Amino acid sequence: MHWVSSRLALGPAPCTQRHFAAVKEQKISCILNLCAEMNELPALEEKAGFEVYFLPIEDEEAPELEQLDKALDWIDEQMFLGKHVYIHCRHGIGRTGTVFNAYLLRRGLGHKRAAKVLHNLRAEPTNFTQWRTVRKYGAQNAPLKIKTPTLEFGEATAKSLEPFLADYNHLQEAIDDQLTLHNVDSMCGKLDNACCHTCVPLTLIEALALATHLNTSIPSTARADIIARAAEVVRHEHTSAEGLSGTFCLYNTDICCPLLKDGSCLLYEYRPFRCRLSGIAPDVAKTIWEDILHTPLEHLSSQVYLNLTGTLPDHSTLMFTIPEVLSGKYVQRLFSFFKAAQ
């Protein structure tokens, strides 16, 4: 196994219990399996507790560009969520090297930088078919010039987002002060849960803040339950909105917010702004939102977008649903915007 970044490793297929244990010891939780000739292996990897993306590629062959792009989408999503990913084919050489080379190009390194990274690795494209696929993929992914290319998402990304999350926390404090000034207090999530059954759209900065608090303020067992409930809500939302376009939040469902348990919000202290303003006088809520919240949230979200992509958003404010954020599914939509910005 060879680590190419703090969260991404390459190597051969795990084919023994000892190898499976060694992979787990490295804190790897996600596997991109490229072995078309070992159809049973993905199920065994899942049974061992790994999250698996199966991209079957025949030995000495290369993937179709569309399928390759989807697999690299998945890698980006897992790494953005702070997970450790392992890419393997049977021997960890040709197919693994082809996919990793494409990932380097996707991350903006360009062919020259990618070649330097691959120089000391066992994994690399080994034949004309694989090199041709890499060249074709490189033609679709120009070298990144606005922002320094990097393979890192985890701690480095979290560190770079800290100033924006700190400003968001200050904004929360300002809103709580405003509610005190108006002598009102929203009990949504504590003594009342009306808004827990309605749509609560979140801006990008709100989504990142909520995801951060989910990962840092909730014990692992409870967090797993929340994520499972949120994933189920997302499935219900998509089923209820089938055939329609757009983003839907508890659309035509009888489902409540995944954070609601026994009548209380599990993240009450960190609940989103719309939840904080729920249940208070409509004129007060409108004034606070329009005069204090709207512009800062838009600006913070744009700054986060710039930090992550190196480009300014050229579209209306990104919005996400609470179930999307809690389940981690929001990352998929987020990266679709990132790709469009390249």
**Total domain count, the chain:** 2
Flag whether 70 is in a domain. yes
Least confident range of 72-86, 88-102, 109-123, 302-316: 302-316
Share of the chain above pLDDT 90, in %: 40
In a domain, 287, yes or no: yes
* CATH number of the domain encompassing residue 88: 3.90.190.10
Claim to verify: residue 75 and residue 161 sit in the same structural domain: no
217-220-226 Cα angle (round to 5): 80
Amino acid letter, residue 204: L
Are residues 335 and 196 located together in one domain of the fold? Answer: yes
Q: 334 and 238, same structural domain?
A: yes
Q: Which residues pair with 10 in a beta bridge?
A: 2, 87
pLDDT at site 110:
85
Q: Mean of the pLDDT values across residues 172-176?
A: 89
Q: What is the DSSP letter of 267?
A: T
The DSSP code for 188 is B
Classify residue 59: in a domain, yes or no. yes
pLDDT score of 251: 47
Q: Residues 18, 75: one domain?
A: yes
Helices 94-106 and 65-80: angle between axes, nearest 10 degrees: 70
Domain termination site, one of 70, 105, 140: 140
Q: Which domain holds residue 23?
A: 2-140
Q: Tell me, yes or no, whether 181 lies in a domain.
A: yes
Residues 99 and 161 both lie in one domain: no
133 and 166 inside one domain: no
pLDDT at 316 over 80: no
Asked whether residue 149 is domain-assigned, the answer is no
- What pLDDT is attached to residue 151? 54
Instruction: Say if residues 8 and 75 touch (Cβ distance below 8 Å).
Output: yes
Q: Is residue 111 part of a domain?
A: yes
Residue 296 burial class via C-beta count within 10 angstroms: exposed 0-12, middle 13-18, buried 19 and up: middle
Q: Tell me: the pLDDT tens digits for 20-75?
A: 999 999 999 999 999 999 999 999 999 998 999 999 999 999 999 999 999 998 89
- Per DSSP, the residues of 156-176 read HHHHHHHHHHHHHHHHHHHHH
For residue 159, the model assigns a pLDDT of: 75
Q: Could you write out the DSSP letters of every residue in 67-83?
A: HHHHHHHHHHHHHHTT-
Residue 150 lies in a domain: no
Place of tokens 């659309």: 251
Same domain? 240 vs 173: yes
Statement to judge: residues 199 and 293 lie in one domain: yes
Q: Over range 276-286, report the average pLDDT.
A: 86
Residue type, 1: M
Q: Select from 198, 236, 244 the least CA-distant residue to 327.
A: 236
Residue 208, in any domain of the structure: yes
Confidence (pTM): 0.63
Q: What is the pLDDT of residue 146?
A: 46
Q: Clarify whether residues 130 and 162 are in a common domain.
A: no
The arithmetic mean of pLDDT across residues 260-265, rounded, is: 88
Asked whether residue 176 falls in the same domain as residue 68, the answer is: no
- For the segment 219-260, what is each residue's pLDDT rounded down to a tens digit? 777 888 898 899 888 887 666 655 545 555 554 456 789 999
Using the predicted structure, report yes or no on whether residue 339 has a pLDDT greater than 60: yes
Residue that terminates a domain, selected from 117, 140, 163 = 140
Within this chain, do residues 106 and 161 fall inside the same structural domain, yes or no? no
Give the residue from 113, 140, 167 where a domain finishes.
Answer: 140
Res. 342: pLDDT tops 70? no
Residues 159 and 115 occupy one common structural domain: no
